[in-house]
Structure 1
Amino acid sequence: MSHSIHIKDQNFQLHPLGGLFWVEKSMLLISDVHLGKVSHFRKFGAAVPRKAIHKNYVLLDMIVADFQPFQICFLGDLFHSSLNKEWELFENWVTKTPAEIILVSGNHDIIAPEKYKQLKVEIFPELIIDDFLLTHHPEEREGLFTFCGHIHPAVKLHGFGRQKLRLPCFFKSKNQMVLPAFGEFTGTYTMAPSKDDEVYAIVEDMVVKV
């Protein structure tokens, strides 16, 4: 179940898979998918199941089907490293996805821009749309609200009997929201929210404000 929020007179839906849908623009924001990471680690001998390679594409298809966006904007680290066998899977996914796809480049995005150009995927260092800054690294800029990624935010919850649970989350401060990592094979970083921050944790198939 998605969670709706309102920022600067615009409506957004936080999806339990980790994407954010900008209603007025019909734009789906997704950060830190790290495609190719499984293949990269398998190449160097890590015992990662081969079926994990396809999981990200299954999840991408699910969230695109839920929102049917006009545009999909990846907020950096779409691919984990250099070209590997997974690029062909990405080519197939782009071909069958009806939405326009754009990439705001992140620190892991080292694949030649020409490869994306062949797929009609535009690359930008950042985007400013109305009063919003779309970027990979967290950055607060005067007059703008930032959507970004990079950190892979998570929150630690404490329950009865010394129970502790760490969950990926959307982390919102006054002028910025950090999206969770969308990729299945990624780590998380536990955030320490202040009283003015808002945390939207992903709990199974729901997004819950905590």
Structure 2
Amino acid sequence: MNLNIRIRSRDFVLHPSGAVYWPEQEILLIADVHLGKISHFRKHGSAVPVKAIANNFRKMDTLLKEFDPEHIVFLGDLFHSSINMEWHMFEDWHSTLDNQVHLIAGNHDIISPLKYEKLGIKLFSEVKVDGFLLSHHPEKRDGLFNICGHIHPGYKMRGDGKQQLKLSCFFQSQNQFILPAFGDFTGNYFMEPEEDDLVFAITGKEVILVN
């Protein structure tokens, strides 16, 4: 189940996959897919099921069917490292789209920009839209609200006993909103929210405000 929120009088839809849809701008925001990471693990002997490779593409197809955005903006680390078989899967997937695709380059995005340009994908270091700054790394800019990735935020939900549940989350502070990592097998950095911070945990099927 999605969760609708408002930031600076703008509507945003938080999706359980970790993506965000901005209806007014018809923008789908996705952070830290890390395509190629599963193939990298398998190459080095990790027992990751091969069917997991296609899961990121299935999730993206689900989002496109639900929201039909004009723009898809990847907030960095679309690919984990150099080209492997998942690049060719991405080329095939991209060929089916009629959406405009943009990449805000992250620290893992080392594939040549010429490869993206050949597909018609525009690369940016950051994008400013309607008072919002879209970036990969968290940034602070006067007068702008930052939407970013990179951190892979997670949250530990603790019970009355010693039990705890570790979940990915969206993390909102005063002038910043951090998306969780979209890709499988990406790991989390567990956040310690301050008094005015908001944590939106992802349970797998829904997004829940937990503090």
Quickly name the TM-score band, shorter chain normalised.
over 0.9
Structure 2's unaligned 5+ residue stretches are: none
TM-score, normalised by the number of residues in structure 1: 0.98
Equivalenced residues, count: 210
2:133 counterpart SS class: strand
Structure 2 CA distance, aligned partners of 1:137 and 1:190?
Answer: 17
- 1:102 corresponds to which letter in structure 2? H
**Cα offset, 1:161, TM superposition:** 2.9
Residue of structure 2 in register with 1:131 after alignment: 131
Q: Which runs of 4+ in 1 moved over 3 A?
A: none
Structure 1's unaligned 5+ residue stretches are: none
Structure 2 CA distance, aligned partners of 1:43 and 1:187?
Answer: 19
Structure 2 CA distance, aligned partners of 1:186 and 1:118?
Answer: 28
1:62 counterpart SS class: helix
TM-score, normalised by the number of residues in structure 2: 0.97
Residue of structure 1 in register with 2:143 after alignment: 143
Residue of structure 2 in register with 1:176 after alignment: 176
Structure 1 CA distance, aligned partners of 2:136 and 2:204?
Answer: 25
Structure 2 CA distance, aligned partners of 1:200 and 1:161?
Answer: 22
Residue of structure 1 in register with 2:163 after alignment: 163
Residue of structure 1 in register with 2:73 after alignment: 73
Structure 2 CA distance, aligned partners of 1:18 and 1:125?
Answer: 22
Structure 2 CA distance, aligned partners of 1:184 and 1:97?
Answer: 22
2:29 counterpart SS class: strand
Alignment of 1:1-210 (within 5 A): 1-210=1-210
Structure 2 CA distance, aligned partners of 1:42 and 1:155?
Answer: 28
1:53 counterpart SS class: helix
2:32 counterpart SS class: coil
**Cα offset, 1:162, TM superposition:** 1.7
- 2:161 corresponds to which letter in structure 1? G
- 2:16 corresponds to which letter in structure 1? P
1:63 counterpart SS class: helix
**Cα offset, 1:8, TM superposition:** 1.7
- 1:40 corresponds to which letter in structure 2? H
The answer to which of 11-20 and 35-44 deviates more is 35-44
- 1:79 corresponds to which letter in structure 2? F
**Cα offset, 1:9, TM superposition:** 2.0
- 2:112 corresponds to which letter in structure 1? A
1:68-125 CA distances to partner (integer Å, 9 max, x unpaired)? Answer: 1010000000000001111110001111122110000000000000000111000000
Structure 1 CA distance, aligned partners of 2:95 and 2:160?
Answer: 49
Structure 2 CA distance, aligned partners of 1:127 and 1:78?
Answer: 16
1:162 counterpart SS class: coil
**Cα offset, 1:50, TM superposition:** 1.1
Structure 2 CA distance, aligned partners of 1:140 and 1:13?
Answer: 23
C-alpha RMSD over aligned residues: 0.8
- 2:13 corresponds to which letter in structure 1? Q
Structure 2 CA distance, aligned partners of 1:168 and 1:89?
Answer: 26
The answer to which of 160-169 and 70-79 deviates more is 160-169
Structure 2 CA distance, aligned partners of 1:88 and 1:72?
Answer: 19
